[in-house]
Amino acid sequence: MAVAIVATAGAANANSYLTLADADALVDAMVLSSDASEWANGDADSRNRALAAAAQRLDRERFLGARATDTQALQWPRTGVRKPDTYSSRYSTGFPFTITADYYTDTEIPDQIQRAQVELAIYLNKNKDGISLSGLEDYKSVSIGSISVTPNLTSGAIGADRVPPMYERLLTGIRISGPGNIAIRRS
């Protein structure tokens, strides 16, 4: 059965943050790689499946703010999330900066979210089993007795639930957890 994309912001049945046409337009604007050309040559159903899977994976992230409504299917739109890099200068020298009151609206899907979904969809379209890996793909061999681990140093190694580096970069400033973030706990 074919996957139908529903990309209406805040909809109770939404399964994507952007339509296939919007995703194709973003891919067309990218520097072409073999992954992006594979995306362009794929059929609409496989690209829709990759978009829906990417949205599901994206929604497992912990984002700033709160969901705009209780009935929406996806994490975005959100309320109370300040747009990253929206600074204005108090002085002509540019320092110190003050943060403006520039927040995402309760109906807005950030461009970062849409681009991250496309990056992940391209990745998933190429690595069809990318989300369901065992976690041992990074190793040539693993032994238990006398503990022996041999890493797989080939460039194609991917671990369980790995995402492309650009995906991580695109979510900077709008999510709570992720690389570069540390949790501080009192003991």
Q: Report whether pLDDT(13) > 60.
A: yes
Q: Indicate whether 120 pLDDT > 80.
A: yes
Q: Region 68-97: what's the mean pLDDT? A: 76
Mean pLDDT value across the chain = 80
Q: Is residue 10 part of a domain?
A: no
pLDDT of residue 132: 45
In a domain, 90, yes or no: no
Question: Residue 3: inside a domain, yes or no?
Answer: no
The model's pTM is 0.74
In three-state form (DSSP H/G/I as H, E/B as E, the rest C), the secondary structure along the chain is CCCCCCCCCCCCCCCCCCCHHHHHHHHHHCCCCHHHHHHHHCCHHHHHHHHHHHHHHHCCCCECCEECCCCCCCCCCEECCECCCCEEECCCCCCCEEECCCECCCCCCCHHHHHHHHHHHHHHHHCCCCCCCCCCCCEEEEECCCCEEEECCCCCCCCCCCCCHHHHHHCCCCECCCCCCCCCCCC
In a domain, 175, yes or no: no
Indicate the pLDDT class of residue 101, thresholds 50, 70 and 90: low
Whether 176 is covered by a domain: the verdict is no
pLDDT at 157 over 60: no
Domain, as residue range, for 28: 20-77+108-170
Number of domains in the chain: 1
Instruction: Let me know if residue 44 belongs to a domain.
Output: yes
> pLDDT band at 186, cuts 50/70/90?
low
Establish if 131 belongs to a structural domain: yes
